[in-house]
Amino acid sequence: MTTLTLLLPVVRPTAGTEFDYVLSSDQGEVSSHASAALALLPRADVLVLVVPVGALSWHVVRLPPVPAGRMRAALDGLLEEQLLDDPAQLALAVAPGRRAHGETLVAAFDKAWIRAMLEFFEQAGRPAARVVPEFAPHADGTATQWHVTGGAEDARLVMVQAQGLLCLPLASAASVLGTRLSVAADDRVFAEPAVAAQAEQVLGTAVQVQARAQRLCAVADGAWELAQFDLSLSGGGRMARRWRRVLGHGLQAPQWRAARWGVVALLLAQVLGFHAWAWKLGAQLSDKRQQVRATLTQAFPEIRTVVEAPLQMQRQLDLLRQGSGGLSAQDMEAMLAVLGAGLPQDVHATGIDYAPGQLTVRVPALPESARSTLADILTAQGYRLQIDGDRLVVRAGGAP
């Protein structure tokens, strides 16, 4: 499964607006990265929109215990004095985890702008699966990170700390930060290739070169989700897209290779087991058929061709019974004897009709208890009973 990550510009989108994009796989391998308008963007399974650092403000609040449905109203009240704009005009997002002392990090950004972006891609048939920040404050106790991005003419310095973010032009960073510009020994410093030398000169320390494509891939794989509350993601539902992303990640991620092979081995074992079981049942059925055929040919050597062994055996037994003068279950005498044993003594037949394997007797209407008793007796002897008014229809078990 492929992911297309776009770094959004801070302007309203148009057909000619160009987006910095990265096309990557679930393994984090970058297939391509460049800038292109919407019509020229490559296709992918998942679209992730990245809100630039300059479009976000960060705030730390202590959330009261309120239901999820009232969380947005509670945030508006808590942030009213901290925000420069009316809270109703801003989109708010709560961090995926709580901070120390029960505090919560909240991101705020322009609601009209992000809605315009979402609608822009929605109308183009490419709905966004996630909206994430380009940079976000770290967890408590994490060392400061320094990121230098952009080109030689517009290099920016982003200082990421647990308390928040600071973004300013690299050229004026020294005059603005003063002594705060010093990089601690455990700080991590990253710079894009075009500004790596300039970053080392300004910060006075070695930097780790990190391409923008790599940074955006890492951002897209993070835990943040900025589309919260009244800022919904349509186009199939956010939950469905997340499940598709999780399943795709599990099907392709290297760390799940052992699990994938285990599932394949389990499925193969099940298929082989079913085939072995079916083969065994088939062999047992074939053996039973051979035994029946052998019984027929041994009992009646005159039968040379076996087509339907049980039926042929029944016919031969009927012929033997007829030749010896014995009664079969389908003869009228045998059927009358069984029926007479089941009828009450005070019930007398008013009419009898017989056909091979079927006996019809007319009797006065029987009570329900007598019907049930008669049916049980006939069933035990291998007969079927049908009651139609004053008619009792008795059929032998093999009769149609």
Question: Which residues 6+ apart lie within 8 Å of 57 measured at CB?
Answer: 83, 107, 108, 109
Residue predicted with more confidence, 27 or 249: 27
Both 116 and 19 in one domain: the answer is yes
Both 128 and 189 in one domain: the answer is no
Both 128 and 146 in one domain: the answer is no
User: Is residue 124 in a domain?
Assistant: yes
Domain holding 149: CATH number? 3.30.420
In this prediction, residue 240 has a pLDDT band, given cuts at 50, 70 and 90, of very low
How many domains is the chain built from? 4
pLDDT digits (tens, 9 = 90+) for 54-71: 999 999 888 888 887 888
In this prediction, residue 243 has a pLDDT band, given cuts at 50, 70 and 90, of low
Question: Which range scores top for mean pLDDT: 237-246, 329-338, 384-393?
Answer: 384-393
Considering only 53-62, 224-233, 306-315, which range has the smallest mean pLDDT?
306-315
- Give bridge partners of residue 358 from the DSSP assignment: 355, 395
- Kindly state the percentage of the chain with pLDDT values over 70: 90
pTM flag (> 0.75): no
Domain extent for 284? 256-325
Residue predicted with more confidence, 350 or 41: 41
Q: Would you say residue 45 has pLDDT above 50?
A: yes
DSSP class per residue in 227-292: --TT---TTTTHHHHHHHHHHHHHHH-GGGHHHHHHHHHHHHHHHHHHHHHHHHHHHHHHHHHHHH
Number of Cβ within a 10 Å radius of residue 170: 22
Q: Which of 325, 351, 383 is the last residue of a domain?
A: 325
User: Is residue 219 in a domain?
Assistant: no
Q: Cα–chain-centroid distance for residue 333?
A: 67
pLDDT digits (tens, 9 = 90+) for 270-291: 999 999 999 999 999 989 888 8
User: Is residue 216 in a domain?
Assistant: no
pLDDT value of position 237:
44
Both 9 and 75 in one domain: the answer is yes
Both 381 and 275 in one domain: the answer is no
